Amino acid sequence: MGLLGEILLLPLAPVRGVVWVTGQVVDAAEQEQIAQLQRELVALEKELVDGGITEEEFDRREDEILDLLEEFDRGVAG
């Protein structure tokens, strides 16, 4: 973009800044949610190995968590 374009868009700079910051916050929140779901998967597997849940319960809950992770992968969650 040339100098003229930059000058014409200058009044929109604060809006573009807010949009960028909002995008960064959303990305960070999504990454934290993904990390939390991954921790839940690890805890779920430990619970299965320790005998705290049945294989059927593990499969059901694992499917729920994996479905949520898949939504993030597709960019649908939010």
CB neighbours of 41 closer than 8 A, spacing ≥ 6? 62, 65, 66
pLDDT at 3: 79
CA-based R_g, the chain, Å: 21
- Judge contact between 53 and 47, C-beta under 8 A: yes
- pLDDT tens, the chain, 78 aa long: 687 877 777 887 888 888 889 999 999 999 999 999 999 999 999 999 999 999 999 999 999 999 999 988 887 654
The pTM of this model reads 0.71
Q: How many CA atoms lie within 13 A of 31 on its CB side?
A: 6
Report yes or no: 37 and 69 within 8 Å, Cβ to Cβ. yes
Give residue 75's pLDDT: 76
Which pLDDT does position 57 carry in this prediction?
97
